[in-house]
Structure 1
Amino acid sequence: MIRSLLIPLVCSISSLAADKPNVLFIICDDLNCDLGSYGHPQVKTPNIDKLAARGTLFSNAHCQYSLCGPSRASFMTSLYPDQTQIRGNNILIRKNTPKVVTMSQLFKNNGYTATRIGKIYHYNVPKAIGTNGHDDPASWSDVFNPIGRDKTEEKKIFTLKKGQYGATLSWLAAEGTDEEQTDGIAATEAVARLKKHAADKTPFFMAVGLYRPHTPFVAPKKYFDLYPVDQIEVPTVPEGYFQTIPKAAVKTLQTKKEQINLKPELARQAIQGYHASISFADAQIGRILDALEETGLAKNTIVVFTSDHGYHMGEHGHWQKRSLLDQGTRVPLIIAAPGQSKKGIKTNTPAEMLDIYPTVAALAGLTAPSYLQGINQAPVLDDPDATPRTSALTQLNVDDFSLRTERYRYTEWKQKDAKAIEFYDHQTDPKEMKNLAKDPNYKKQIAELAAMLEKRVKAAKQTPAGVK
């Protein structure tokens, strides 16, 4: 049984497994919760769903910034964006926190082989595929940069803006096999290294960063065939919706002009490409997890699956990332650990991506740096009703913040010298379409969450000792 206290936890793990539990950290790029195990009616993700069936699914987990660079820097360091001072892409984590010990580095410092396969820190996708991107060399013992047909055959991709693939909607139903794609090559490498670790009996922290479903949505044609365009529904926005939310929120949702009021036929094709890319990524995850089982390593390996942030596919009239709504902040998070007494459970307790670091450290029996801002979520693996934290904090830009609790979302946008508010009740409005900021029936809850947000933002802006 997994415990919240470190010593009983270590005893539990060691009683069922070898000396040091391994860690397999799998992360997709720009993946929202359009997954079978998260209740999506169409998207086929049998391998991720199988992992959820033997672990714990966090249904209320959120990133700390809905953009790749800041989010990845945060979860790898367990620091908030204002503490890493990374609120944009293309910034190395040690520019502002040179002494930080990253999640994989902690394991490396404790005798583990820490391997990066693919994208963990920020990359310009697809431009930097095949390179180190904005990697942190101190985090790893070894790295592998896959590159496949999705990159080398880039000119075949359809895009809304000629010559642009990573920051605009673009897609391709590709020829060839899974193994010829960048993520297929990554999975092949991960399988080979798992077999080697099984033979050598060496402890490992293996991070596999898949590029899909990040644009361009490229996957072999068979995955596109899973989602006929005539069966795809495009999200709609009620008339007058944009008059009910702050101007700053509208500006964020309508940043990309070429994607406003997207033609229905293009919208359906984009959704098809996104879902095809998810199923393709799921198949590669399946290959890795199958190897983990076949080598016997699953008995002694903590598996974490997640994404760097959420993603809009037409919800709220928005396409892609960068929002302070559930569709933009919410991420899939599944943790399966050796010795877990309960399997296949779901929890709605709030979680932050910052929590991954202290949680896997505790599960492995390692002493994490004292400055980590995340909270150990290991108690939730035994008790889905446990509440290590009561809210999840997400930032966008410099002064815009959102707080998500089990029931509510409270957001403050800075507009000139004032603030504008969004407030949603997930019990009655899970899609966050009815802004209740001016509803007198919620005056008390809004005041409480405003005070909570102020306190949390103040703490998140204080850089802890030991990282500079």
Structure 2
Amino acid sequence: MAHNAKPNILILMGDQVTPAALRAYGNTVSKTPRIDALARDGVVFDSAYCASPLCAPSRYALMAGSLPSRIGAYDNAAELPAQTLTFAHYLREAGYRTALSGKMHFCGPDQLHGFERRLTTDIYPADFGWVPDWSNPQRRQSWYHNMSSVFDAGPCVRTNQLDFDDEVGYTVRQHLFDIAREQASGKDLRPFVMVASFTHPHDPYAIAHEYWDLYEGEEIDLPKVTLGFEESDPHSRRLREACEIDREPITREHVRRARRAYYGALSYLDAQFGVILDTLEATGLADNTIVIFTADHGDMLGERGLWYKMTFFEGAARVPLIVHAPGRFAPARVNASVSHVDLLPTLVEMATGERRNAWPDAIDGRSLVPYLHGQSAHDEAIGEYLGEGAVAPIVMIRRERYKYVYSPVDPEQLFDLWDDPVELLNLAGDPRHEQRCAEFRAEVARRWNLDDLHEAVLASQRRRSFHFRATRQGRIEHWDWQPRADANDRYIRSHLDLDSLEENARFPRVRP
């Protein structure tokens, strides 16, 4: 198909994928041949960041092109307001069919947010049950991460997450078949944007024997930096307490098994991607489809003694970002820092061929299309963390070689990631960087009113906690998405013409 036609767009998402665990980003252990192929023939962003290192806020920011504080995406029980415009709204208005399969962690009664079709329910609850409480930081919520994921890491026959992701892969494949059949019959010729969002390799670190066994005899790499509680910065100490990291000793074997299961889960994710990509090829859709691979955030995987996310250290805040469309964009690597919020304007430009300067909803992102054509663009990523383990807003500015992290309740942090990629040397106390830190502090003051944001977060937490308690009384109406499937219109039914049904279901079509 000619590349002047509107392209299809397929977004493949993993959950909690740190780039450091992928061969495309220099890892030598993981086995992900399909992701490797996407990277080999695609544009790889070497310094891409989530807007918040937590599932729901990161995904909301990605969908809306806005920083979490702009849309109230404070934590994993924050509602994404229905009036917030997402890339699904923009592309649907531009003539695209829009579909979501898998996890997006939408909280609230709107479970579509611009998607025309949602093929599965979500793996996470849609209610306000997971609201943190900054007013009582000593209270540990029952739903917080703990270290059972590490202590119990290993092979399995089945898990909740395998159930979910197998369904995601199946529904994506079937939807691609439906798209191909409907286009062949002339029923629906619209291009598509589809999000296939899996929950692996998110903890718990358990994976089927098939993928665990891929790493039998392999030397599993251990964390580059190991720090204890007293050596850690204040926010890391809070995370260690929230996740009970220091409650029991964690051995090297615990770490090795957890990382091995994580690699196995990456290989499982890669295999799911492979089935989808093979379906694109089989249906003839691949040549006109831009494939984007990313994840909501990373995983510390024991680096600095930390696990999971919720921090702006590289393991948690950086994300993989690969754009694969060899006929449109030459393979390349981009060193400049970019953000998930840049995806919305990028997708709109891909879909329409035009770069918008005015938006009906305020956005914080900037298009990455110049980078896809080998040109220069911005070099900046901004982050916010407002979830559990924090007691006040934490913000991050990543620009050129420096990363600056600031919170009103903690010492500031400045890292030179070119000279210190493992972030061991905090330059904020170095007199040679006093002016640079002052400039960053002034920028933080211009970008945010952190006192007002702090009060807004506290008020939202109180409001949503009360809402959840109240709506647990009496008859409960759940917001969890119920996938709609009418069995009366599936397969062979008496009210459907048999010849026509079989003809339309066969792909490729035998008769024109």
TM-score bracket, normalised by the shorter chain, equals: 0.7 to 0.9
Report the 3-state secondary structure (helix = DSSP H, G, I; strand = E; otherwise coil) of the residue aligned with 1:414: coil
Distance 1:169 1:375, change over 3 A: farther
Equivalents in 2 of 1:238, 1:110: separation in Å? 49
When the two structures are aligned, how many residues end up with a matched partner?
A: 415
Correspondence for 1:105 among 89, 102, 116: 89
> How high is the TM-score relative to the length of structure 1?
0.80
Equivalents in 1 of 2:122, 2:393: separation in Å? 38
Please state if 1:44 is matched with 2:31. yes
Equivalents in 2 of 1:238, 1:167: separation in Å? 19
Distance 1:330 1:359, change over 3 A: same
Equivalents in 1 of 2:262, 2:289: separation in Å? 30
TM-superposed deviation, 1:100? 1.9
Distance 1:239 1:46, change over 3 A: closer
TM-superposed deviation, 1:169? 4.4
TM-superposed deviation, 1:445? 3.1
Aligned to 2:486: none
Distance 1:206 1:120, change over 3 A: same
Distance 1:300 1:435, change over 3 A: same
Correspondence for 2:119 among 133, 144, 154: 144
Which AA in structure 1 matches 2:291?
Answer: V
Give the 5 Å matches for 1:27-106: 27-33=13-19, 34-94=21-81, 98-106=82-90
Report the 3-state secondary structure (helix = DSSP H, G, I; strand = E; otherwise coil) of the residue aligned with 1:342: coil
Please state if 1:408 is matched with 2:394. no
Correspondence for 1:396 among 385, 397, 401: 385
Report the 3-state secondary structure (helix = DSSP H, G, I; strand = E; otherwise coil) of the residue aligned with 1:82: helix
Name the % identity: 29
Distance 1:249 1:216, change over 3 A: closer
TM-superposed deviation, 1:40? 0.8
Aligned to 2:132: none
Equivalents in 2 of 1:140, 1:50: separation in Å? 29
Aligned to 1:445: 436
Q: Choose 229-238 or 30-39, whichever is displaced more.
A: 229-238
Q: Is the 8 A contact 1:234 1:267 kept in 2?
A: yes
Equivalents in 2 of 1:259, 1:281: separation in Å? 30
Aligned to 2:336: 349
TM-superposed deviation, 1:338? 6.6
Aligned to 1:233: 221
Write the deviation string for residues 233-265 of structure 1: whole angstroms up to 9, x where unpaired: 33264678954x642343235431145652222
Equivalents in 1 of 2:290, 2:88: separation in Å? 13
Q: Is the 8 A contact 2:16 2:202 kept in 1?
A: yes
Which AA in structure 1 matches 2:115?
Answer: W
Please state if 1:255 is matched with 2:242. yes
> How high is the TM-score relative to the length of structure 2?
0.74
Report the 3-state secondary structure (helix = DSSP H, G, I; strand = E; otherwise coil) of the residue aligned with 1:270: helix
Equivalents in 2 of 1:164, 1:277: separation in Å? 22
Aligned to 2:265: 277
Give the greater-gyration-radius structure (CA): 2
Which AA in structure 2 matches 1:394?
Answer: G
Write the deviation string for residues 171-198 of structure 1: whole angstroms up to 9, x where unpaired: 4523379x97432332222122212212
Please state if 1:329 is matched with 2:329. no
What do you get for the CA RMSD once the two structures are aligned? 3.1
Aligned to 2:7: 21
* Uncovered stretches (5+) of structure 2, i.e. residues with no partner: 124-141, 184-188, 387-391, 457-512
TM-superposed deviation, 1:451? 3.2
Please state if 1:192 is matched with 2:164. no
Distance 1:365 1:221, change over 3 A: same
Which AA in structure 2 matches 1:197?
Answer: I
Please state if 1:386 is matched with 2:376. yes
Correspondence for 1:175 among 157, 166, 177: 157
Q: Is the 8 A contact 2:23 2:32 kept in 1?
A: yes
Q: Is the 8 A contact 2:226 2:303 kept in 1?
A: no
Equivalents in 2 of 1:165, 1:279: separation in Å? 27
Which AA in structure 2 matches 1:396?
Answer: Y
TM-superposed deviation, 1:167? 5.7
Please state if 1:214 is matched with 2:202. yes
Report the 3-state secondary structure (helix = DSSP H, G, I; strand = E; otherwise coil) of the residue aligned with 1:409: strand
Equivalents in 1 of 2:143, 2:110: separation in Å? 23
Write the deviation string for residues 93-129 of structure 1: whole angstroms up to 9, x where unpaired: 11xxx42221112222333221111112348xxxxxx
TM-superposed deviation, 1:455? 3.3
Report the 3-state secondary structure (helix = DSSP H, G, I; strand = E; otherwise coil) of the residue aligned with 1:335: strand
Write the deviation string for residues 360-396 of structure 1: whole angstroms up to 9, x where unpaired: 110111776342211001000121x613x23211111
TM-superposed deviation, 1:35? 0.7
Q: Is the 8 A contact 1:168 1:215 kept in 2?
A: no
Q: Is the 8 A contact 2:3 2:328 kept in 1?
A: no
* Uncovered stretches (5+) of structure 1, i.e. residues with no partner: 1-13, 124-132, 149-162, 464-468
Q: Which structure shows the higher strand fraction?
A: 1
